[in-house]
Structure 1
């Protein structure tokens, strides 16, 4: 007796069911977009310069989606779908303009699209300080800058830019970084004698390169996307870059995921002009300048320990105000509006030479 579970009739019925579900999905998404447009209309009626994008609200929605996701899609995959729906709905009223460290095809652009969705308008900048300037000038709504890599550590240019800026951190996004060795269609793999990449990518792939291309010249360039652009027309070179750059310049894969550490990831910060209300699961970043005296570091850290505030990062940078003075960049769990955090910051401010809150923002959801 034959099994009828895979019969044409059953397949036709399943496909018809999928078509019905798709029609219902479109109706519901359109209804959501209409509701979002009404929210924007209410906001504009009260304030013509109202801010439509609310980082804390988006984080709350995505967390709820992940918590209530029934499967079989993975919870992060479901959240990414909702991210794109929210991005498209927001773009109906006022698309978000986002500056990022360019050129086009960088991991920073990938982080920007991961955080804001593909309906955002992403604009490449040549340097981190240019991203800060564009946001400060109001030319864009937000900026995206790298702050630390799990392999190579802190991005000093970003920390230095915060020291001179009045911008707020409004979000974070962590991106798994996969490096690939890429070449153009006119290149023969056995003829590769030069490899282009950003210095950090060379560092993150050092062992693999030593094992597979020990004699190839390693040429440092400003970004992995620039490396991909250069090899497009060269017959003897390759580039270390990511999937976005490979697609943008139509390159072929010589080897995939050549990073030395499989958990290689980079954390990016979202910078804007507005402070962010609590979302329920938040992080705060501050920069503190301490007096140059014995016990200064202990005096800085003691209130965090006493109030049991979880510090997630502590970095030092030389101060620009005097020789051998340092400033501390600190990340910790919690929001500046929480009573315990208020007490900690009051004590730190009293002990410090100077302190600036860079922002409280939702912990990265995706």
Structure 2
């Protein structure tokens, strides 16, 4: 029996020809529509610049983008999945926004980290990304106006809260403008000179080594595990060595021209990290929002009760509560709270006002759209 595919009949060839002609026609229509959208984006920029006197115009509106992407997913007829369709529109929106004004986004570097991957997922490939050496440097870069926005990790599903990010919010005037969740997949990477059967050391960030411990124990028990400052740094080191490998993400493999020897070696298949988008502006309601607060309470009996009571009383869904040690003598208890809704909602206003009656201080870190992608 021959393995060769059967020859197409004349009728099949005719049907294929018609389908290809239809695809060409549709591609022409799509091209024209994307160009029309881009022209509209440029006109939007002109109106905003004129209204603001060519200074201080706001081109990126997180709530507007979330509304558009949510609408795309709601109206998607298929067969492409909702997330796939939204990703296509994200890139179209990213390219059109770059025509209005290219944005620069700071992130926890170096280049090739999961934080950069999160920035590109949220803003699209047309944004300019700028690596920073530390989380507080990302905050400072945005606060100084050197970058439009920043991206910082705040929570990992297996490792928990990133305390440095929470602590930095206490002393900063930066607002939370959005969130993005990234599924974390770890890959074993090798360089062009790596001898796969001679690997004696594996570089990665300490958390990544911990998240791949079972796989390493089973497949590379004798290789030395060396913790470095980031997965991107691990990828850099492997480039020039013959007896080492790195654990990092797909973006690092691409940037540093490394081969993925084994993919998805993380112990938990549901491992994900939540990142926050930080900026200097208040974000308007999008219909599906979150609000984050930092609250300091007096060191007295019933403090936690008084903090939680308003949420139950006014029917507001608290989605997260974290406690951090005080950074000053006055703030004994510092609570970070996320709840569903926007700070302009009537019920949210009542909750915040009620908390202020018993708290030492209440700081609204921002209201922002729930992550769409």
| Structure-1-length-normalised TM-score | 0.97
1:179 aligns with 2:179: no
Find the counterpart in structure 2 of residue 7 from structure 1: 12
CA distance in 2, matches of 1:262, 1:74: 21
Find the counterpart in structure 2 of residue 36 from structure 1: 41
C-alpha RMSD of matched pairs (Å): 1.4
Q: Alpha-carbon deviations, 1:318-352, whole Å to 9, x = none?
A: 11112992311111100000000000000111111
TM-aligned CA deviation for residue 199 of structure 1: 1.2
CA distance in 2, matches of 1:305, 1:241: 43
Q: Alpha-carbon deviations, 1:60-92, whole Å to 9, x = none?
A: 000000000001111111101111111111111
Q: Alpha-carbon deviations, 1:157-180, whole Å to 9, x = none?
A: 111111110010000000000001
- Runs of 4+ in structure 1 displaced over 6 angstroms? none
Find the counterpart in structure 2 of residue 340 from structure 1: 347
CA distance in 2, matches of 1:41, 1:111: 30
CA distance in 2, matches of 1:46, 1:135: 24
CA distance in 1, matches of 2:198, 2:236: 19
CA distance in 2, matches of 1:355, 1:132: 20
Find the counterpart in structure 2 of residue 307 from structure 1: 314
Unmatched 5+ stretches in structure 1: none
Asked whether the equivalents of residues 152 and 203 of structure 1 are also in contact (C-alpha less than 8 Å), the reply is: no
1:145 aligns with 2:152: yes
TM-aligned CA deviation for residue 3 of structure 1: 7.8
Find the counterpart in structure 1 of residue 3 from structure 2: none
Asked whether the equivalents of residues 303 and 344 of structure 1 are also in contact (C-alpha less than 8 Å), the reply is: yes
Find the counterpart in structure 2 of residue 20 from structure 1: 25
- Three-state SS of the structure 2 residue aligned to 1:7 is helix
CA distance in 2, matches of 1:216, 1:226: 18
TM-aligned CA deviation for residue 4 of structure 1: 4.7
Asked whether the equivalents of residues 154 and 274 of structure 2 are also in contact (C-alpha less than 8 Å), the reply is: yes
More deviation in 130-139 or 41-50?
A: 41-50
Cα gap change, 1:323 to 1:211, in 2 (>3 Å): farther
TM-aligned CA deviation for residue 103 of structure 1: 0.9
1:87 aligns with 2:94: yes
Find the counterpart in structure 2 of residue 325 from structure 1: 332
Report 1:1-366 matches (<5 A).
Answer: 4=9, 7-47=12-52, 48=54, 49-322=56-329, 325-366=332-373
More deviation in 193-202 or 133-142?
A: 193-202
TM-aligned CA deviation for residue 13 of structure 1: 1.7
Asked whether the equivalents of residues 295 and 361 of structure 2 are also in contact (C-alpha less than 8 Å), the reply is: yes
CA distance in 2, matches of 1:279, 1:269: 17
Asked whether the equivalents of residues 180 and 274 of structure 2 are also in contact (C-alpha less than 8 Å), the reply is: yes
TM-aligned CA deviation for residue 15 of structure 1: 1.2
CA distance in 1, matches of 2:31, 2:355: 52
TM-aligned CA deviation for residue 185 of structure 1: 2.2
More deviation in 32-41 or 59-68?
A: 32-41
Cα gap change, 1:165 to 1:250, in 2 (>3 Å): same
Unmatched 5+ stretches in structure 2: 1-6
CA distance in 1, matches of 2:180, 2:309: 29
- Three-state SS of the structure 1 residue aligned to 2:50 is helix
